[in-house]
Amino acid sequence: MSFDSMGLAPELLRALADQGYATPTPIQSRAVPEILAGRDLLAAAQTGTGKTAAFTLPMLQRLHAAPKQASGRRPVRALVLVPTRELAAQVEDSVRTYGRHLHGLRTVLIFGGVGINPQIDALRRGADIVVATPGRLLDHVGQRTIDLSQVEFFVLDEADRMLDMGFIRDIRRVIERLPKQRQNLLFSATFSPDIRKLAEGLLHDPVTIDIAPRNSAAEAVTQRAIFIDKAHKAELLGYIISRFNWPQVLVFTRTKHGANRLTERLIRDGIPAAALHGNKSQNARLKALAGFKAGEVRALVATDIAARGLDIDQLPYVVNYELPSVPEDYVHRIGRTGRAGQTGEAISLVCREEYGEWRDIEKLLRRSVPAFEVEGFTPSPRPDRAAEPVERAPRPARRTPRGGGRQEAHKPAHAGHGGRADASSARRGRPQQRGHRHGGR
Ligand code: AMP
Q: What is the 3-state secondary structure (H, E, C) of 131-149?
A: EECHHHHHHHHHCCCCCCC
Element (H, E) at 425: helix 423-437
pLDDT digits (tens, 9 = 90+) for 330-348: 887 887 776 555 668 899 9
Instruction: Establish whether residue 324 lines the binding site of ligand 1, counting it when its CB lies within 6 angstroms of any ligand atom.
Output: no
**240, 383: one domain:** yes
* Predicted local distance difference test score (pLDDT) of residue 14: 96
**200, 227: one domain:** no
In a domain, 105, yes or no: yes
Q: Are strands 317-320 and 299-302 parallel, antiparallel or unpaired?
A: unpaired
Q: Is residue 399's pLDDT more than 90?
A: no
Local structure of residue 412 (DSSP, 8 states): I
H helices of 51-108, in order, are 51-65, 85-98
Of 138-152, 230-244, 300-314, where does mean pLDDT reach its minimum? 300-314
* Predicted local distance difference test score (pLDDT) of residue 71: 61
* Predicted local distance difference test score (pLDDT) of residue 408: 31
**148, 25: one domain:** yes
**364, 238: one domain:** yes
In 3D, which of 50, 65, 88 has the Cα closest to residue 8? 65
Instruction: Establish whether residue 20 lines the binding site of ligand 1, counting it when its CB lies within 6 angstroms of any ligand atom.
Output: no
- 38 φ, ψ (degrees, to nearest 5): 90, 10
**112, 238: one domain:** no
Domain span at residue 309?
Answer: 221-418
H helices of 203-308, in order, are 233-243, 256-268, 282-293, 304-307
Q: Is residue 230's pLDDT more than 70?
A: yes
**205, 285: one domain:** no
**34, 99: one domain:** yes
Counting from 1 in the atom list of ligand 1, the atom nearest the Cα of 45 is 2
Question: Is the CA virtual torsion 80, 84, 87, 92 positive or negative?
Answer: positive
Q: Is residue 418's pLDDT more than 50?
A: no
Q: Is residue 76's pLDDT more than 80?
A: yes
* Predicted local distance difference test score (pLDDT) of residue 101: 95
What's the CATH code of the domain at 319? 3.40.50.300
* Predicted local distance difference test score (pLDDT) of residue 145: 96
Counting from 1 in the atom list of ligand 1, the atom nearest the Cα of 52 is 3
**311, 190: one domain:** no
Distance of CA 260 from the midpoint of ligand 1 (Å): 30
In a domain, 439, yes or no: no
* Predicted local distance difference test score (pLDDT) of residue 440: 29
Instruction: Establish whether residue 21 lines the binding site of ligand 1, counting it when its CB lies within 6 angstroms of any ligand atom.
Output: yes
Substitution candidate for ligand 1 out of 2, 6, 25, 91 with most atoms within 8 A of CB = 25
**44, 109: one domain:** yes
In a domain, 344, yes or no: yes
Substitution candidate for ligand 1 out of 4, 8, 21 with most atoms within 8 A of CB = 21
Instruction: Establish whether residue 336 lines the binding site of ligand 1, counting it when its CB lies within 6 angstroms of any ligand atom.
Output: no
Counting from 1 in the atom list of ligand 1, the atom nearest the Cα of 94 is 12
Instruction: Establish whether residue 29 lines the binding site of ligand 1, counting it when its CB lies within 6 angstroms of any ligand atom.
Output: no
Instruction: Establish whether residue 51 lines the binding site of ligand 1, counting it when its CB lies within 6 angstroms of any ligand atom.
Output: yes
* Predicted local distance difference test score (pLDDT) of residue 219: 62
- The whole-number average pLDDT for the span 113-132 is 95
Distance of CA 340 from the midpoint of ligand 1 (Å): 6
**227, 149: one domain:** no
In a domain, 434, yes or no: no
Counting the structural domains of the chain, the total is 2
Residue 306 burial (CB < 10 Å; 0-12/13-18/19+)? Answer: buried
Instruction: Establish whether residue 339 lines the binding site of ligand 1, counting it when its CB lies within 6 angstroms of any ligand atom.
Output: yes
- The whole-number average pLDDT for the span 197-204 is 94
Determine the number of helices (DSSP H) and then strands (DSSP E) in the chain.
17, 14
Tell which of 210, 231, 256 closes a domain.
Answer: 210
In a domain, 79, yes or no: yes
Name the most confidently modeled range: 34-38, 65-69, 408-412.
34-38
pLDDT digits (tens, 9 = 90+) for 12-26: 999 999 988 888 988
Tell which of 167, 186, 210 closes a domain.
Answer: 210
Phi-psi region of 252 (alpha: psi -120 to 50; beta: other; left: phi over 0): beta
Tell which of 210, 237, 256 closes a domain.
Answer: 210
What's the pTM? 0.57
**232, 181: one domain:** no
In 3D, which of 229, 222, 261, 191 has the Cα closest to residue 376? 229
* Predicted local distance difference test score (pLDDT) of residue 401: 37
- The whole-number average pLDDT for the span 294-318 is 80
Counting from 1 in the atom list of ligand 1, the atom nearest the Cα of 90 is 4
Distance of CA 53 from the midpoint of ligand 1 (Å): 7
d(CA 189, CA 195): 10
pLDDT digits (tens, 9 = 90+) for 136-191: 999 999 999 999 999 999 999 999 889 988 999 999 999 999 999 999 999 998 78
**197, 228: one domain:** no
Instruction: Establish whether residue 52 lines the binding site of ligand 1, counting it when its CB lies within 6 angstroms of any ligand atom.
Output: yes
Counting from 1 in the atom list of ligand 1, the atom nearest the Cα of 46 is 2
In a domain, 395, yes or no: yes
- The whole-number average pLDDT for the span 264-273 is 95
Q: Is residue 441's pLDDT more than 50?
A: no
User: Which pLDDT band holds residue 404 (cuts at 50, 70, 90)?
Assistant: very low
In a domain, 430, yes or no: no
List all residues 6 or more positions away from 4 whose beta carbon is below 8 Å from its beta carbon. Answer: 13
In a domain, 47, yes or no: yes
